[in-house]
Chains A and B, each alone.
Chain A
Amino acid sequence: MRNAPIIQDSAMIESPEIMPAKSKLQHEVSTILEHYQHDKTRLMDILIDIQDENGYIPAEAIDYLSHELNISTVDIRQTVSFYHFFSETPRGKYTIYLNDSAVANMNGRKAVSKTFEKEAGISFGSVTEDGLIGLFNTSCIGMNDQEPAALINGAVFTRLTPFRASEIIRDIRAGKQVEEMFVASYGDGNNSSEFIKAVVNNHIMKRGPVLSDQFKPGEGIKEIVKMSPEDVIKEVKISNIRGRGGAGFPTGLKWEFCRNAADQTRYIFCNADEGEPGTFKDRVILTEKPFMLFEGMVIAGYAIGAKEGILYLRYEYKYLKKHLENALQKIRKLKLLGKNILGKKGFNFDIRIQFGAGAYVCGEESALIESAEGKRGEPRDRPPFPVEKGYLEKPTVVNNVETLCSIVKIIKNGGEWYKNLGTKESTGTKVLSISCDCRYPGIYEVEWGFSVNDILDMVGGDDVQAVQVGGPSGSCIAPNEFNRTLCYTDLATGGSLIIIGNHRDLLKGIILNFMDFFIDESCGSCTPCRILTVLLRDKLKKIIEGRGVMQDLEDMEDWGKIMKANRCGLGLTAANPILTTLKNFKNLYLNKIQINKDYDTGFRLDEALREGMKASNRKVSVLENK
């Protein structure tokens, strides 16, 4: 009896007559939810749509999502708060994300940001009072060869100058659409196609098998329909190709592990979360070779027995969305995707695009999977590895964009052919992203085994102080090591080479920026990565300001060792900017420290008092009085 009224109550709440009318926002969210079939693992897509629609994610939307998807608001908020491009407060009708990478700064970002601030009348990290313009910093957006660059409502603006910055703000105030604000002509290749229309250049300076024009859609798939999946894996193993994202795991082996996993539902992911500052080769491949990439995914899917492929694309490359979707449509029409591919019965495979929302750590495969499931992009503990338990707990292979493209060529020409390229341990070619102080920055596809000197000759880099190989997480090498070669046994790299001229202040201009980058991008899960990155950055700052002592250098080396306790690639390498320069450019540090002091905490009373004096409107302190 006691329960009866309660049942009645809940029935009444659910009845449509009593339900309060849906607000406009709820209607909008409902439509988005229907589009994703109320699937809570698609939370990222749902949030991206809400963010794009409203310019932010209103609290009301979070409450409504929580109710409709039956997940707590806290779970939704922790996803929202994890990604740079999500915000719970409005980010402006026009949101300007100006890249704050080291190379952007080396190319005059400061003057550009100052002009944006002056013209908009606000500082970075805020929105104008009328809600028209928002100014925000962002990490490398993959335009290193055309910096400083910014994303404005998703559209890319490259090679910015103070003049352009004031023009842009003026155009915004005049109510122009983003597309109407371009002044330069669209870039080369597909950049000017109707589906992209971006003022972005490919700068392909040297082509190899991956970037070659000799590719016809279907050339790889035609081969595999004649082969068994095991034979495909065998061919890939013969080629000895290793992952091109940077970690260099043998691709054939990864596929085999996944193929041998017990669960029959499997997934193939293409990792297009190219976040390593200084890397932009995947952007060019996605622009010029989408068919080849998708074909690589089909081949991988066939080999491991997956029916679904997911292209995890960083939000910064959202301007390529239409282009990639159009490519998918085209290859579906060619029967290279979909049901019974090329007439082979039971060979079903399709691909969808999953966007990230701005998080470097999502380039780590297990973090990428977490993100694709709608969660915070925090790396998982391993084992189990994704090949055993990955996306939705199913066996999953995550391959880099370039790896998958190379696969197509391996299948077409054979593993033996591929093995003859490069060196014995590092077979094939590598697409390099080369930027900063050289005459011809851009994309170069070379065989493994080039020395750094060869590369500098090739790109026109002279008067070079240092080369940052593999982005901030790689190593910074000095001229006495320029004879080292690019290969997995010497200088392994995901392909980013930042060339740093002699006129640069290496520690202040570059290494400090790299440390700030890691602090921003750390997911915060492992203590050393969350805390030591900050302490190391502060030590570096102290040294740059001339307050360091010998002890600080020793501390940095010692603390760097503790970074091995972190669980993912980000944490393991986050101290590398400091550790590799300490090793290769020790003199830069020694010249800055105080030789006649053994100890200095770096504390300066006058600086620590400034704020308090101002707040209480005082001219002199007690100590000065005495």
Chain B
Amino acid sequence: MSTLKCECGHVNPVGTELCERCGKPFDEKDQGILYMRYEGAALRSRKKNKTFVDYIWNFFASVKVGVGLLVITLIVSMFGTIYPQQMYIPATADPYQYYPDQYGFAGFLYVSLGFHQMYSSWWYITLLLLSGISIVVSSIDRGIPLYRSLKNQQVRRHPRFMQRQRISGRVVVDDPEQTLANVADVLKSMRYKVMTGEKAVMGEKNRFSRWGAYVVHLGLIVLLLGALLRILPGFSMDQYVWIRDGETVPVPGTENKYYIKSEGFEVEFYEQNDEEGPLIPEEFRTEAVLYENMATQSGQRELREIKRHTIRVNDPLRHEGLSFYQSDYKMNEFSQFTFALTHQESGEEVGLVEIDLFDPASEYDLGNGFKVELVEYYPDFELDAKKEPQTKSPIPNNPAFIFRVITPDNPAGETSMVLIQQTIVAPGAENEYALKIKNIAFNNVTGLMVRTERSLPIIYFGLALIMLGLVISFYWQHKRIWVQEQDGAIMLAAYTHKNWFSFKQEVERLIDLTGLPLDKRTLDKEVPMDE
């Protein structure tokens, strides 16, 4: 491995432009102002392409590529917000039909290009990953050599380094040693960190400001990681749970670790001023209780209450990254039917049959030899293709019952069918006894969205790092002033990475306070100073 040995004795990596220690420019022909952003350190990516690895490295280390990737990612991210993502359209809708129906040809394009599930598509994630790689590689490529250079720098600099700074000057004084001591004192009074070397003084301030950009990079990486973690199982979850009043159900996606109970869902309406207008809901709320299941086996419960909360819109129940949001509701679902067993002719009631629609009994004994057997129960009655009675769903939207009524006079029983919401004349119309609906009890059902977003703290941390990095690089600046004796004269040079105007004023103040007879007007090679 070839290295570059400077005349000061320091061994630099190949590709170094300015000696890490004394700053001597290795390119002797050029006489212009030195490019100091990376302190003339050897950047891998500045090497000519040699191997395949170098080629890939240089591609990702390129600022153009990095900025390009980020810009493309941002623009593409915007496309995903034009129409709702697939998770926000009705779950039963076919996206290839839904989008064109809703949004016409644009919707067709949208769904054809896969924008309806963009944020988890392979190409979007590839884009995020490429941006991430570019940030990591370019940070390593520049950050490490820059750090090395700043760490290895010595106080006394090579005269050509001094000469080729943007701010530099040379003047002959009577007593160089006294002048240097004076400069050191003044720099100290200007709150510079002063280092002295062999007939040389360097004042340095706020070196950490150079790392601001890298803190921003780190923040971006953390942010990308947070976004990518969402696609791993367990980090992000969107589930839905329906709970009837009084019911306790396992929380989906938690492997039965948590159970949630609704102690009642309610809608409150605004008081109405005029009687015509529709009722306007004021508040939806669920009295919820969260339990932890201590039983280790599925199907078994050993619940321990951990939290109680009234869930309202925008006021979810939260526990260890799980959040339950009020999202939907269903009012007045049938929960219980009360029938009166009635003698058809006399209208006399024999007794009441209370049927829990979610857990009906198979027979109801009314005493005195009267018994009602529930022969068949269809919570959501329909006739299937073969004209056989079936249930469409387990929810009692349209309950149908077949009863056998056993009376003291008729121990074999008579059969009758009762359908709600449909007045089919049941085969039991000519029966002696009929079951007449006496009372119906209703339940409310609450729909809760269950979400986990474990990557959120990571995302916030990333944003905080970005902010910190921006503050570091905006509000502070790295400043260095070198003053040294060279061949009986005093040389001065100064460098900062931004905000030259205020820095020049500081250099002028140094000159004024030390009384160095330097011509301030010729100090800055780029912009001659005004009087």
Are the chains A and B members of one assembly?
Answer: no
Q: Which residues of A contact B (CB under 8 A)?
A: none
Using a CB–CB cutoff of 8 Å, the interface residues on chain B facing chain A are none
